[in-house]
Every structure is written in structure tokens, then in C-alpha cells.
């Protein structure tokens, strides 16, 4: 049985624990880190999760460590995983030439914090790079000419409170709102303006239609990309049939998501890691989204995609796609239920930490047990990963 001493570093100053998954409106990035730490600790491995917190504590075998209290010269970790943080790599490598270092990149390749990867010397610190999707990994490969052998991807997973939440058609019917409801689950800057236009048109055909704006947990209205969103939200508040839900802990968010018949995503983010779409599909919602290669690569079978070009009639085409699905919900409930149960089953066997932890553990095993599998040199039996939705 494997039993590694693993340190996960992430750059936030959140004072969280595993309980926070159920009590705090944590950003999804932090949630995924906590899921990984929890899954690894149950294998079992000895896991330390370090960030810029003030207080160190231990919960369920995981040490939640203040970074300021770690002494890298004296560490006894087997492997170190850094989330979107390049700053400690040089210090870590100067103190230990052999320990495997993994960069888990969730930011865009153009993000300021990732620009040091332009330097080959900085790249040489890392034994592996892991990104959320094939598309994001390709962005990094193209921009920084990373070593292909060291570059991997690991799909995000559904939120844990959705795991096997719906196990029958009856349960899904009971979870849905009695009122025909569509939901918007992205930050407002990512398509709310377009969806408000579509909704005003749809109301003329579906008089009882409701639009729920579920501001995602961890949503930051002060983020530079969201500064203009407050005007949109105020417009939505004054519009009939629209309700805005403030960020909340993830279990409450899931309960609201399960009530929606459709989830609409008119604009795909530059880095669509897919967790927003994965959650919607796992909740059995019909999902209408702008077509994007990253999303198509893992959910093409279940997504109702709309081509972004030509832009001139994009809103009209997006609205028509929603109208077709709303009509199906009303007139063909059995077909809709069958589609929903099918995608729920798919998500529950593909996008869970039961699979993802094995993939992470496999990578760590390779790094620790293949002497040649270090900073770009493949072991004799190495086979490059090919894109697949697992």
C-alpha cells in the first residue's frame, strides 16, 4: 500500500478546513484542492495543505499548515504539489534537487503569475505540469513550449454533494421546481447580458418562465472583470420573473441548482475548466452553452451547443435553442427525464474523485519510482497521454 508524505501548496489566505466544504461559500478552485487533499488522505497518504493562513490545525488526518511556519530545509515530504504558485519553486529546488515538484495550473496561460514559465530555468524546476483540460494544457504548451512529457491534464469533478444525489426519476421530479425554471450559474460578466436579452424574448412565449441567477460560491464582485456586472444585476433585480441568489455554501447552491430545468451559458470563459457545466449536467439539467472545444471534448454528447459565429444572429440562435428545449420539457417530459438520468449516470461514473485520485496517485507513483522520469526524461515504458474524458 502506498503511503506518501504529500504537501499541497495554494496561495490563498483562506482559513478553511474540510468542514468548510459544507459551511463556507468557497471558490471552486479551493474546493477542488480540498477534495484532492481529502481523497489522498483516505488512500491513505500523509497530507499537509499549506497556504497563507494564520493558524495551523489538523482535521481528519490532514495538517492545515501556515506557510510561514514551514521550513523547507528540514522538510520530509516525498512530493510537493503547488497550485497556481511558481514563487516557491526556486527555494524548494535549491534545498532539494530530487523531490518531485508538480505544478497544478488552473489559471489562464496568459495570467501574470504564470509568465515566469517563459524562462527555461523556471521550467526546469518542475517535474510535471497538470491542467484542468486538454485545451488549457495545449494553451500552455503553445505559449511556453513546455515539455510534452511532463504535461498532463485532470478533468475537474462534480461537486461532492451531487454525487449519487439523484438515483431515480422520481427523485429528480421531486427536486425540480414546479415552475418552469432556467438558471444562470456563471459570474455575470460571462454571458448575463446576453441571457437577459434572450429571457425577455422567451417570456413572450413562456409566460410562467422564471430565470434564477445563482451567483457561484466564491463570487467576488470586486474582481476587475466584474466591476460592470453590478449594473446588469440591478437590471435583473428590476425585471419580472428573475430572482438573484447570493453566493452561499455549496450544499445550498446544489439544492437551488437541482430545481432548475435548464442551465444557460451564453458566453464561455477563456478558460472553461468545466466545473460549472459538470455540476449542471450532474444535476440533470439540460445545458445550453456557447460551443467551445474544451467543453466539447468531455461533454459533447450531452451539451446543447450554439456556434459562436456568426455573431450577428448569435442571441437569436441561442434563444431558439433554449425555446426548443423548454418546449421539450413541457411537451415531452418522459424524453427529458430519460436524457437527464442518462447524463447523471455518466457524470457519476466519470467525473468523481474516486477516479481522479487514482489518476493523481498514478502520476505521483511514476515520479517517485522511475529514476528517469525526472524533468523531461521519460522512463523506458513511457506512453504519452492522449485526450480522453476521464
What are the residues facing 213 on neighbouring strands? 184, 244
The model's pLDDT over 108-134, given as tens digits with 9 standing for 90+, comes to 899 999 999 999 999 999 999 999 888
Entry pTM: 0.91
- Report the 10 Å Cβ neighbour count for 363: 21
For residue 389, the model assigns a pLDDT of 36
Confidence of residue 270 (pLDDT cuts 50, 70, 90): low
For residue 278, the model assigns a pLDDT of 92
Instruction: Answer whether residue 237 shows pLDDT above 50.
Output: yes
The model's pLDDT over 20-32, given as tens digits with 9 standing for 90+, comes to 999 999 999 999 9
Alpha-carbon distances of 342 from 166, 289, 299, rounded to whole Å: 11, 19, 12
Instruction: Answer whether residue 38 shows pLDDT above 60.
Output: yes
With 0-12 / 13-18 / 19 or more C-beta atoms within 10 angstroms meaning exposed / middle / buried, residue 314 is: middle
Confidence of residue 94 (pLDDT cuts 50, 70, 90): confident
Mean of all residue pLDDT scores within the chain: 90
Q: Which position has the grid cell 491534464?
A: 153
Confidence of residue 336 (pLDDT cuts 50, 70, 90): very high
Range in 116-120, 154-158, 324-328 with the lowest mean pLDDT: 154-158
Amino acid at each position: 500500500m502506498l503511503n506518501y508524505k504529500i504537501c499541497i501548496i495554494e496561495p490563498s489566505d483562506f482559513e478553511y478546513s474540510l468542514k468548510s466544504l459544507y459551511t463556507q461559500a468557497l471558490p471552486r478552485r479551493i474546493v477542488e484542492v480540498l477534495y484532492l487533499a481529502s481523497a489522498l488522505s483516505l488512500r491513505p497518504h500523509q497530507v499537509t495543505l499549506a497556504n497563507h493562513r494564520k493558524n495551523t490545525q489538523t482535521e481528519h488526518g490532514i495538517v492545515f499548515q501556515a506557510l510561514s511556519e514551514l521550513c523547507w530545509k528540514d522538510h520530509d515530504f516525498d512530493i510537493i504539489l503547488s497550485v497556481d504558485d511558481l514563487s516557491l519553486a526556486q527555494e524548494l529546488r535549491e534545498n532539494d534537487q530530487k523531490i518531485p515538484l508538480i505544478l497544478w495550473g488552473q489559471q489562464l496561460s496568459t495570467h501574470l503569475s504564470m509568465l515566469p514559465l517563459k524562462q527555461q530555468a523556471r521550467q526546469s524546476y518542475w517535474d510535471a505540469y497538470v491542467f484542468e483540460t486538454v485545451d488549457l494544457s495545449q494553451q500552455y504548451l503553445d505559449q511556453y513550449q513546455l515539455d510534452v512529457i511532463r504535461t498532463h491534464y485532470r478533468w475537474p469533478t462534480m461537486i461532492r454533494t451531487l454525487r449519487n444525489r439523484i438515483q431515480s426519476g422520481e427523485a429528480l421530479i421531486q427536486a425540480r421546481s414546479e415552475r418552469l425554471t432556467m438558471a444562470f450559474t456563471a459570474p455575470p460578466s460571462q454571458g448575463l447580458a446576453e441571457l437577459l436579452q434572450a429571457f425577455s424574448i422567451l417570456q413572450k412565449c413562456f409566460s410562467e418562465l422564471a430565470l434564477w441567477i445563482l451567483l457561484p460560491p466564491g463570487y467576488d464582485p470586486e474582481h476587475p472583470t466584474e466591476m460592470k456586472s453590478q449594473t446588469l444585476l440591478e437590471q435583473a433585480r428590476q425585471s419580472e420573473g428573475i430572482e438573484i441568489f447570493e453566493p452561499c455554501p455549496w450544499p445550498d447552491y446544489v439544492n437551488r441548482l437541482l430545481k432548475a430545468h435548464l442551465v444557460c451559458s451564453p458566453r464561455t470563459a477563456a478558460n472553461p475548466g468545466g466545473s460549472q457545466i459538470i455540476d449542471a449536467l450532474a444535476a440533470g439539467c439540460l445545458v445550453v452553452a456557447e460551443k467551445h472545444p474544451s467543453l466539447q471534448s468531455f461533454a459533447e454528447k450531452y451539451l446543447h451547443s450554439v456556434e459562436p459565429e456568426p455573431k450577428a444572429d448569435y442571441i437569436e440562435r441561442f434563444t431558439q435553442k433554449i425555446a426548443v428545449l423548454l418546449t421539450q420539457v413541457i411537451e415531452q417530459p418522459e424524453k427529458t427525464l430519460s436524457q437527464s438520468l442518462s447524463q447523471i449516470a455518466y457524470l457519476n461514473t466519470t467525473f468523481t474523485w474516486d477516479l481522479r485520485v487514482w489518476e493523481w496517485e498514478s502520476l505521483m507513483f511514476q515520479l517517485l519510482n522511475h529514476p528517469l522520469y525526472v524533468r523531461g526524461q521519460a522512463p523506458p515504458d513511457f506512453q504519452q497521454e492522449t485526450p480522453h474524458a476521464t
